[in-house]
A and B are shown apart, each in its own frame.
Chain A
Amino acid sequence: MDIKHPAKAGSLESNDIYVMVEPSSEEGIVLELDSIVMRQFGRHIEAAIKETVTKLGIDNIRIVAKDRGALDFTIKARVETAVKRALEE
């Protein structure tokens, strides 16, 4: 399944993450993450985002995420909301 249009969720505030998704011209899940804790948790956050997207059954997508120290469940909720918005007609 592919998303239909760009969408976003979240905020740039502390302890949150701003997730933007858009249809991708490339195959697969393309993720660009900026995080204030990139060095400590970058890989972990990337894995959490990709896992959420995969679980939602999305094959091709570009995700740009600006993380401000969000916890796992916040990350997952924001990603899920953005993807669901992007699937709406």
Chain B
Amino acid sequence: MKIFGINLAGPVREEVERFLASNGLKLEKDVEYTAVAVCREEIVGTCSFAGNVVKCFAVRPDWQGAGIAAQLLTHISDILFSKGITETFIFTKPENGQLFSGLGYRSVAATPQVILLEGGTANIGRYINEMVREAGINGTEKAAIVMNCNPFTLGHRYLIETAARENEQVIVFVVEENRSCFSFTQRLNLVRQGTADLTNVIVIPGGRYIISANTFPTYFLKDRQISVYQELDALIFARYLAPAFNIRIRYVGTEPHCQVTNNYVEALQKILPSYGVKVCLVERVKSKGECISASRVRQLYEKCHWEELRDLLPPCTYDFLRNYPNPGSQANQAD
């Protein structure tokens, strides 16, 4: 039996897709690397990764128990390690947890529908202690907000202001994954600039364990089971982040038209209070009768509606966007 990486642009891809399909799985679109275990020219197992998430893993039932899983995971870990990715994660069904925990993966949190395991050098307790240390915060009771801020709007500012008025100290976690229009660094800097006057607000990177509604893996999107994932996110927040930072209340902006966000709020309300963390819903601030949202800002920005944007954005974001290249603005200049 041989284990090797395949060319994802080549014909073997289809074979892997068929193999996964026969095991009730799909080769997800974001996969960057796929390894196969091949015996007598037949695929008997496969494993892939996207970023630091190990996924699309299957071993043919009649080959299970022969150590193929261990070989595949070693191969994938080696490749990840050679790319400088030493901390890895697996999202899977709880019944598969046992298999991976026998292969060096540790359970971070599990809901009845999903389990998150970490492998490589990842260690949530250690990681979060490091976050607390880097933030340089004290033990005061805190309020927390998790935001993507893609980009930072007056709506975000309003939510932060509200929390800052009602609490001694507020921590804003900016979602770290770079799947947004604006890069993480750009988003983080704008939030920091736009809240610099609020002395009891600390803005820090969300880190690896805040997943947020914007970054749920495709695995669950495919099954329309985002809510499953949201519960996991809420559980991790309640169990690890809240006690480490001494967070007693989490602020969330309402989003009347977004089912995903509503479900997320429901998950937070279901899980956080049992860990001693309150959930405070703040109604979205409006501009000319319409809620201010980052998606609305992005639409207006594409069309270069600067006058309207001025009402929705703090000066820092407005100035940033004016100096930021965008296909829409170029088209506009050409006109």
Contacts and interface: CB of A to CB of B under 8 A. Distances in A.
Interface string A10-24: 011110001010100
A32 B123 contact: yes
A66 B100 CA distance: 12
A66 B121 CA distance: 10
Nearest to A25: B130
B120 to A, nearest CB: 6
Nearest to B122: A64
Contact of A12 (B84, B104, B106): B104
Contact of B73 (A12, A14, A62, A64): A12
A6 B84 CA distance: 8
B78 interface: yes
Interface in A28-68: 32, 34, 36, 62, 64, 66-68
Contact of B104 (A6, A18, A25, A62): A18
B70 A68 contact: yes
A8 interface: yes
Interface string B276-306: 0000000000000000000000000000000
Contacts, number: 49
Interface string B68-98: 0011011001100100101000000000000
B81 A8 contact: yes
Contacts of A14: 67, 70
B102 A18 contact: no
Contacts of B119: 66
Given A11-B70, A20-B86, A64 B120 contact: yes
- Helix, strand, loop or mixed for chain B's interface? mixed
B8 interface: no
B198 interface: no
Given A12-B74, A13-B70, A20-B81, A6 B102 contact: no
Contacts of A11: 70-71, 74
Contacts of B77: 8, 12, 18
B103 interface: yes
Nearest to A63: B121
Given A12-B77, A13-B74, A66 B86 contact: no
Given A12-B71, A20-B120, A62-B121, 20 more contacts: A6-B86, A8-B78, A8-B86, A11-B71, A11-B74, A12-B74, A12-B77, A12-B104, A13-B67, A13-B70, A13-B74, A14-B70, A18-B77, A20-B81, A22-B86, A22-B121, A25-B130, A32-B123, A34-B104, A68-B70
Interface of B: 67, 70-71, 73-74, 77-78, 81, 84, 86, 102-104, 106, 119-121, 123, 130
21 contacts: A6-B81, A8-B77, A11-B70, A11-B74, A12-B70, A12-B73, A13-B67, A13-B70, A13-B74, A14-B67, A14-B70, A18-B77, A18-B104, A22-B121, A34-B104, A34-B106, A64-B121, A66-B103, A66-B104, A66-B119, A68-B103
8 smallest A-B Cβ distances: which pairs? A66-B104, A11-B74, A13-B70, A64-B121, A12-B70, A12-B74, A12-B103, A12-B73
